[in-house]
Structure 1
Amino acid sequence: MKLTTEVPVKTSPYPIDYNSSLLCLGSCFAEHISRKLEFYKFNVTSNPFGILFHPEAILNVLEKAVKDEEFTSDDVFQHNEKWQSLFSHSRLSRNSSTETLAVLNSAKRELKVASEEATHVIITLGTSFIYKHKSTNLGVANCHKLPQDHFEKELTSIEELKNILSRLISSFGMMQPDAKLIFTISPVRHIKDGIVENQRSKAHLISALHEVLEETPNQPSYFPSYELMMDELRDYRFFNRDLIHPSDLAVDLIWNRFRSNFISEDIYLDMSKVEKLQKSIAHRQTETEGEVFEKLKTYQYKIKEELKKKYPFMRFPNL
């Protein structure tokens, strides 16, 4: 008996393995996926500019990286005792303009290198609503709690989104023509925009993205994380207490579907070894000496050395 409608997921013809270089960009769900990849010790770079919800915010920083264009004093401002930038999330904010510019330019270099070396780029789109800074007309990554009258909130049209997404795909092509792009729509609902408005926002993203994918040679992949959450997992037991964000269980279930369709079966055994080692390291030990403790350390060391011999880039705590 089936108790849910299963969402079909296409298997990627270009699966990820431990030789892959991964870049994750976009909304907070991109961070969920990147944390899973990091746990399993993939070579992954995640959101150098922090969480970016709108495709234009991603495009703004990617084009800076493509042009290798430095951030300058015009790109930062002081507010609430921090120096901020409209190009980035607040986690890049610092106590001085010099520090913030240094962090921004470091993030730009990180994004440039990761884009040039990427075999796969995973892009999570969060919303079609964007805040335009009135004096610069920049679609901002974050408003940083500036007064509301500094911005104009807009629902980006499908045609505008198609243009942004096409430029995004083209920019990645300029950085690394062989990189495989994987797009997904964030399953997180932006309830602050309103229930109906959130649905319009997601509908614009879905329509624009699929039209662009159909028109793009060597069509990028699509992973239906939004559809999995809204249909296959359509039950509030799969949400956090805020009833907006996916629960840990939901993230695990969506990750399992991603792994089954986008990660090579050839490395499942090695992934299992990484998982066992990671859980063993994270487990709080009640004993710090004795035969049982020494056996555990020997077991951990053996798996670690096996993995490092096969994958020298993997890093684990000293055991």
Structure 2
Amino acid sequence: MNFTTKIPIFQNIKPIDYNSNIVSLGSCFAENMGDKLCYYKFQTQVNPFGIIFNPFSIAKLIERAVVQRYFTKDDIFFFNERWHCYEVHSDCSTTTSEALLDNLNQLLLDTQKQLQEATHIIITYGTSWVYRHIETNAIVANCHKVPQKQFSKELLSIDSIQKAIQNTVSLIATLNPKCNFIFTVSPVRHLKDGFVENQVSKAHLIAAIYATTNTKQQTLNYFPSYEIMMDELRDYRFYADDMMHPSSMAIDYIWERFVATQIDEKAKVTMELVEAIQKGLAHRPFNPYSESHQKFEANLKEKIATLEAQYSFMKF
């Protein structure tokens, strides 16, 4: 018997391997997948500007990075004893304006370099709902707990999302025309927007990505994270306590589906070796001075040395 509706996923014809340079951008689920890639020691950069949920804000940051349009004092503000920028996550906020601008502009330089060198860019969109700062009429990536009355809320249209995605692809292509894209929609439910509103939001994202990736461009791919959560894992036991975020079990399952379709077969052998080392490093012995544990540590060091000699970028 088959108790689930398994989603068919096309094999990526340009899969990720250990020679790949990966940039993962977007929602908190982008960090979930990015953390997995980092755990298995792929060359991965995750959300340099912090978690960003909507396509418009991601496109705006990509534009800044590509054309090197630096942040200025006009782009930052002081609130609750910290300096913030509406275009980035609050993780970037600092106690001085000079530090914030220095950090943001260095991130632009770093991000441009990462985009130039990337073989694969994974972009995870979280929502079509955005907040517009009333005074400046600008869509923000993060409200930084500024009072809600200073913002208006709106739903991005499918057309505007599609344009933002196309702008993102086109801008990166000016630096790196051979880069491969993997788009996905976050399975996190934004229920504070409303149940119906969350579904509309996800539908707009999916429709816009479909219109962009359903072409003959082999560099544009779609991975159905949201659909796996909704159809293959259609049960509340796969959600965290807040009933909105996927549980660790669900993240592991979606990761398995990602590996099966987006990772090169030869790389999977190396992944098994990396996982064995990671588990060995996490092991806490009952008696660290025993002969058996000394042999275990010597064997582990040998495995690490072998992999680090083969892949110079790997550090354990």
> Structure 1 length as normaliser, TM-score?
0.97
Match in the other structure for 2:285: 285
Q: Distance in 1 between matches of 2:160 and 2:148?
A: 24
Give, in whole Å, the separation in 2 of the partners of 1:239 and 1:290: 42
Name the structure 1 match of 2:154. Answer: 154
Please state how far the C-alpha of 1:313 moved relative to its aligned partner.
0.7
Structure 1 letter corresponding to 2:268: Y
Q: CA deviation at 1:148?
A: 1.2
Structure 1 residues 137, 216: closer, same or farther in 2, change over 3 A? farther
In structure 1, what is the equivalent of residue 273 of structure 2? Answer: 273
**Which digits, 9 at most, give the CA deviation of each residue in 1:110-134, with x for residues without a partner?**
2111111000000001000011112
Alignment of structure 1 residues 1-319 onto 2, 5 Å: 1-215=1-215, 217-218=217-218, 220-316=220-316
Q: Secondary structure at the match of 1:50?
A: coil
**Structure 1 position 80, deviation (Å):** 0.9
Distance of 1:219 and 1:94 partners within structure 2 = 37
SS in structure 2 of the partner of residue 139 of structure 1? strand
TM-superposed CA distance for 1:98, in Å, is 1.2
Amino acid at match of 1:68: Q
What SS does the aligned partner of 2:130 have? strand
More moved, 289-298 vs 1-10? 289-298
- How far does residue 170 in structure 1 lie from its aligned partner after superposition? 0.6
**Structure 1 counterpart SS, 2:243:** coil
Distance 1:215 1:14, change over 3 A: closer
What's the secondary structure of 2:288's corresponding residue?
Answer: coil
Indicate if the aligned counterparts of 2:22 and 2:120 stay in contact, CA closer than 8 A: yes
1:35 counterpart letter in structure 2: D
**1:270 Cα offset (Å):** 1.1
The 1-side partners of 2:181 and 2:48 are apart by: 18
Cα distance in 2, alignment partners of residues 289 and 21 from structure 1 = 40
Partner Cα separation in structure 2 for residue 103 and residue 129 of structure 1 = 28
Shift in Å, 1:215? 4.7
How far does the alpha carbon of each residue in 1:124-182 deviate from its partner, in whole angstroms, 9 at most, with x for none? 01000011112222211100011112211110111111111111111111121110000
| Structure 1 residue 290, shift from structure 2 partner | 3.1
Secondary structure of the residue that 2:70 maps to in structure 1?
Answer: coil
**What is the CA–CA distance in structure 2 between the aligned matches of 1:66 and 1:176, rounded to whole Å?**
10
Q: Offset at 1:286?
A: 3.0
CA RMSD of aligned residues (A): 1.1
Q: Distance in 2 between matches of 1:13 and 1:217?
A: 11
**1:10 Cα offset (Å):** 0.7
| CA distance in structure 1 between the aligned counterparts of 2:29 and 2:274, rounded to whole angstroms | 23
> Paired residues, what number?
316
What SS does the corresponding residue of 1:44 show, helix, strand or coil?
A: strand
The one-letter amino acid paired with 2:304 is K
Structure 1 spans left out of the alignment, 5+ residues:
none
Q: Which moved more, 1:15-24 or 1:68-77?
A: 68-77
Cα displacement string for residues 248-289 of structure 1 (whole angstroms, at most 9, x for unaligned residues): 000000000000100011121211010010011012233232
Counterpart CA distance in 2 for 1:10 and 1:222 is 9
Residue 304 of structure 1: CA displacement?
0.2
2:25 and 2:141 map into 1 onto residues whose CA distance is 12
8 Å CA contact 2:180–2:219 kept in 1: the answer is no
Q: What CA deviation, in whole Å up to 9, does each residue of 1:50-85 have, x standing for no partner?
A: 000000110111100011121111111111111111
| Cα displacement string for residues 217-269 of structure 1 (whole angstroms, at most 9, x for unaligned residues) | 44500000000000000000101011110000000000000001000111212
> 1:148 & 1:125 partners in 2: Cα distance?
23
Structure 2 residues without counterparts, runs of 5 or longer: none
Q: Distance in 1 between matches of 2:156 and 2:252?
A: 31
- Cα distance in 2 between the residues matched to 1:212 and 1:256: 25
SS of alignment partner, residue 297 of structure 2: helix
